[in-house]
């Protein structure tokens, strides 16, 4: 049966891919409490719809750092997409370009920065993990710049990998031929052993990524690139203020889709206090648990310029490659348009804090 909403893609994806790969995508850390509250928190937010507004034309486009995108959804960085579909990141890049939005490409992509850059002309940002060896990190930034990426998105919530117990149970290893393609022969998987850490990804992070990062490294990153720098993984007003002080260009409110510190709050719950702390000067994006157009409109009302989705487009990729990702994006676009119309908001800019209420 054809899926009628994004959640129905999950069940289809489960049938299309290997169980270990499905678990790697689905899983959260520890008891998966944060994974769950990322979703349920949206249920406590209710709309205050306004009526008798002319919504004969609804425009879902929005502007982020001077770039207009067709809908307020970006594709979050996710690792190893060829595990899900042979076309992997190349299919995702093409679907994002077709939908008129940004793909954020993971450091741990299973195609190279250059291959993904050349796959489609749409806007791309590069998600950066910092390596213990600084020259490895700097080299990645240079390659992203040369390949035409428009921003660097520094992930700051992975000094170590959260305990994803589904992967431990599976002793998760990447299938043959799937690897972090940016590092063939350098920071590659041959350097680490899953046996010590329960999963190959945990071993990789422990072995190669820098767990000594501080705000000085954000300043260092700003100093080595002229691209806009976003920080991804902010959950408190304190760190949002420090991000602003460090001169970042944008903040992504994220708990890594419930995959890092379990017991972290739902991202939508902390968005308002972060918005208040940094004011209107810095654009905010939020991710985690967004599965419906109404979720997106709630996030816009609470101060986000846009959102990112992770798992939903991976389900689409698993089910149908490029066209599967395109279908997921189109479903969400249609839902956003409807929610905006029913809220009395013809444009994204019309969605305000007055359009929602919090029911605790």
Ligand X SMILES: Cc1cc2nc3c(=O)[nH]c(=O)nc-3n(C[C@H](O)[C@H](O)[C@H](O)COP(=O)(O)O)c2cc1C
* Binding stretches for ligand X (CB under 6 A): 24-25, 38, 76-79, 106, 108, 127, 155, 232, 254, 256-257, 287-290, 309-311
- CB within 8 A of 2, min separation 6: which ones? none
Minimum distance of ligand X from residue 354's CB (angstroms): 27
How far apart CA 211 and CA 196 sit, in angstroms, is 18
Q: What is the DSSP letter of 211?
A: T
Least Cβ distance, residue 28 to ligand X (angstroms): 9
Cβ 157 to ligand X shortest distance, Å: 8
Distance CA 148, CA 160 (A): 30
Q: Report the distance separating Cα 271 and Cα 20, nearest Å.
A: 33
**Within 10 Å of residue 344's Cβ, how many Cβ atoms?**
18
Q: Is 256 a catalytic residue?
A: yes
Q: To the nearest whole angstrom, how small is the minimum distance from the Cβ of residue 208 to ligand X?
A: 13
Identify the active-site residue in 20, 85, 256, 355: 256
Q: Closer to ligand X at the Cβ: 204 or 282?
A: 204
| Residue 274: CB atoms within 10 Å | 26
Question: Which residue sits closest to ligand X, CB atoms considered?
Answer: 310
Return the number of the residue (286 or 348) whose C-beta is nearest ligand X. Answer: 286
Is residue 267 within 8 A of residue 287, CB to CB? The reply is yes
- Least distance in angstroms from the C-beta of 335 to ligand X: 15
Choice between 315 and 344, CB closer to ligand X:
315
State how beta strands 62-64 and 67-69 pair.
antiparallel
In terms of CB distance, is 81 or 344 closer to ligand X? 81
Phi-psi region of 100 (alpha: psi -120 to 50; beta: other; left: phi over 0): left
Nearer to ligand X, 233 or 320 (CB): 233
What is the distance, to the nearest Å, from the Cα of residue 54 to the centroid of all Cα atoms in its chain?
33
Three-state DSSP at 101 gives: coil
Give the catalytic positions in this structure. Answer: 256
């Amino acid at each position: 049966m054809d899926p009628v909403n994004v959640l129905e893609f999950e069940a289809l994806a489960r049938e299309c891919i290997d169980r270990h790969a499905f678990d790697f995508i689905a899983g959260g850390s520890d008891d998966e409490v944060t994974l769950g509250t990322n979703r349920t928190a949206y249920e406590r937010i209710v709309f205050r719809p306004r009526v008798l507004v002319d919504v004969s034309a609804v425009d879902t486009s929005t502007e982020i750092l001077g770039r207009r995108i067709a809908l307020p959804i970006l594709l979050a960085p996710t690792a190893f997409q060829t595990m899900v579909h042979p076309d992997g990141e190349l299919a995702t890049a093409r679907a994002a370009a077709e939908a008129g939005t940004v793909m954020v490409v993971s450091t741990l992509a299973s195609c190279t920065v250059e291959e993904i850059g050349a796959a489609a002309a749409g806007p791309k940002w590069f998600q950066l993990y910092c390596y213990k060896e600084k020259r490895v990190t700097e080299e990645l930034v240079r390659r992203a710049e040369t390949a035409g990426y428009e921003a660097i998105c520094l992930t700051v919530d992975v000094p170590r990998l959260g305990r994803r117990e589904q992967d431990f149970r599976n002793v998760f290893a990447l299938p043959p031929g799937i690897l972090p393609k940016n590092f063939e022969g350098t920071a590659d998987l041959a350097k680490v052993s899953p046996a010590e850490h329960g999963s190959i990804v945990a071993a990789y992070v422990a072995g190669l990524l820098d767990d000594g990062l501080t705000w000085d490294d954000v300043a260092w990153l700003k100093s080595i690139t002229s691209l806009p720098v976003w920080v991804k993984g902010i959950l408190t007003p304190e760190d949002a203020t420090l991000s602003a002080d460090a001169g970042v260009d944008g903040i992504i409110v994220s708990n890594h889709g419930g995959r890092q510190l379990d017991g972290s709050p739902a991202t939508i719950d902390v968005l308002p206090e972060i918005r208040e702390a940094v004011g209107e000067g810095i654009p905010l994006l939020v991710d985690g648990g967004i599965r419906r157009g109404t979720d997106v409109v709630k996030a816009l009302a609470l101060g986000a310029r846009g959102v990112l989705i992770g798992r939903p487009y991976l389900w689409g990729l698993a089910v149908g490659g490029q066209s599967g990702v395109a279908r997921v994006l189109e479903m969400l676009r249609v839902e956003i348009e409807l929610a905006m119309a029913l809220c009395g908001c013809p444009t994204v800019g019309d969605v305000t804090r007055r359009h929602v209420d919090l029911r605790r």
